[in-house]
Amino acid sequence: MILPGKRRGKDDPSPHNDPSPLDNPTLSKPKLATLISLSAIGLFLAGLIIYLQITGRALRRFGYVEIGDKRYTAVYAISPAERQQGLSGRKSIGADGMVFINPRLETSVFWMNKMEIPLDFVWIADGVVVDLHEQVPPPADTGTIVRVRPIQPVDTVIELSSGTISRDNITIGTPVKRVLNWYFSLW
């Protein structure tokens, strides 16, 4: 508090006595450059999120899966939302296949809702093919939404282009190795 006739001094506890940040900058040039860089990255990420929401695109994890002696590039669907979306609404797979990883062994039911392409399904438990469904048609071909399920609980399901199982001679009992490379792609 300033009493009449008193002048403010450096010992005055008034908050208005602090020097202006512009008069005594505490940010060095490297700190300022870091702050600007982080702000630019933040703006880029915010713009990317808005873009993805507007266009309906997503960042997808890619890797590969080996079925027997064949290697396939695959999009990995790990989260519940990714597993639910799957390949619905797509005109092509965009890779050799899509790998669905279940959090535990379960008898997953897959349906061809909003699918536009026929698929082959490879059902895997503990690193071995346990069931196969070939040339499952999309609803446009049959007028009904086809549902498929394995004969036993599985921890991984792979959707491949229709005809891949026959062409590559994939059979029950074939060993499977999945490798998730943590690189992302707009898809």
Q: Which residue has the higher pLDDT, 92 or 25?
A: 92
Q: Which residue has the higher pLDDT, 67 or 33?
A: 67
Nearest to 93 by CA among 107, 76, 80, 109: 76
**Residues 79 and 128 occupy one common structural domain:** yes
Nearest to 72 by CA among 4, 124, 130: 124
pLDDT of residue 59: 55
76-106 pLDDT, tens per residue? Answer: 777 776 666 666 666 667 678 888 888 889 8
Q: CB of 60 within 8 A of CB of 184?
A: yes
pLDDT of residue 88: 66
Question: Has residue 19 been placed in a domain?
Answer: no
Q: CB of 152 within 8 A of CB of 132?
A: no
pLDDT of residue 133: 94
Lowest mean pLDDT among 77-86, 116-125, 128-137: 77-86
Supply angle C-alpha 177, 178, 180, rounded to 5: 155
Residue 69 pLDDT > 70: yes
Please give the residue range of the domain that contains residue 121: 59-186
Contacts of 41 (CB under 8 A, 6+ apart): none
Which amino acid would we find at residue 160? L
**Residues 67 and 50 occupy one common structural domain:** no
- Give the residue-averaged pLDDT of 140-161: 86
Question: Has residue 137 been placed in a domain?
Answer: yes
pLDDT of residue 154: 95
**Residues 51 and 64 occupy one common structural domain:** no
Q: How many CB atoms lie within 10 A of CB 160?
A: 25
Check which CATH number belongs to the domain holding 103 and give it. Answer: 2.60.120.1140
Secondary-structure percent of the chain, ordered helix, strand, coil, rounded to 5: 25, 35, 40
**Residues 34 and 104 occupy one common structural domain:** no
- Give the residue-averaged pLDDT of 139-154: 83
**Residues 169 and 108 occupy one common structural domain:** yes
